[in-house]
Amino acid sequence: MKKNHLLRQCVACRTMKERESLLRIVRTEEGFSVDRTETCGGRGAWICKDGACIDALLKKHGLDRSFKCRVSESSYEALAEELRKEL
Ligand SMILES: [Zn+2]
């Protein structure tokens, strides 16, 4: 049996990957943050552990669709900085 449910889609490149090769993004009161423990509840988005995907996320504003809201440029920049530390 194929375990497709273990795959998550990257919000930047839309590739399906196993969660081990992705980072989880969660919404917080301040904006967005990286969920290192993967235990935060609520809506999450996934992105490849890849600088190119982080750049693409910034450029394409991929989170607006995932979280169904308008995400500010400064929130994207703060998140991108946090994501790059995880690479
Ligand atoms: Zn990706």
**Which CATH number fits the domain that encloses residue 54?**
3.30.1230.10
Distance 54 CA to ligand 1 centre (A): 8
Task: Render pLDDT for 12-32 as a digit per residue (tens, 0 to 9).
Answer: 999 999 989 999 999 988 789
The rounded Å distance from CA 26 to ligand 1 centre is 16
Q: Give the distance (Å) from ligand 1 centre to CA of residue 29.
A: 25
29 vs 74, higher pLDDT: 74
Is the pTM here over 0.85, yes or no?
yes
Q: How many domains does one find in the chain?
A: 1
Residue 7 CB burial class (10 angstroms; 0-12, 13-18, ≥19): middle
Nearest to 32 by CA among 18, 46, 53: 46
Structural domain of 16: 4-85
Quick: pLDDT tens for 20-68: 999 999 998 878 999 987 666 677 899 999 999 999 999 999 999 989 8
Token pair of 20, please? Answer: 């081990």
**For 41, which DSSP code?**
-
What pLDDT score was predicted for residue 6? 79
C-alpha distances out from residue 20 to 8, 9, 29, 47, 57, Å = 10, 12, 26, 11, 19
Element (H, E) at 86: none
Compute the distance from residue 48 Cα to the ligand 1 centre, in Å. 4
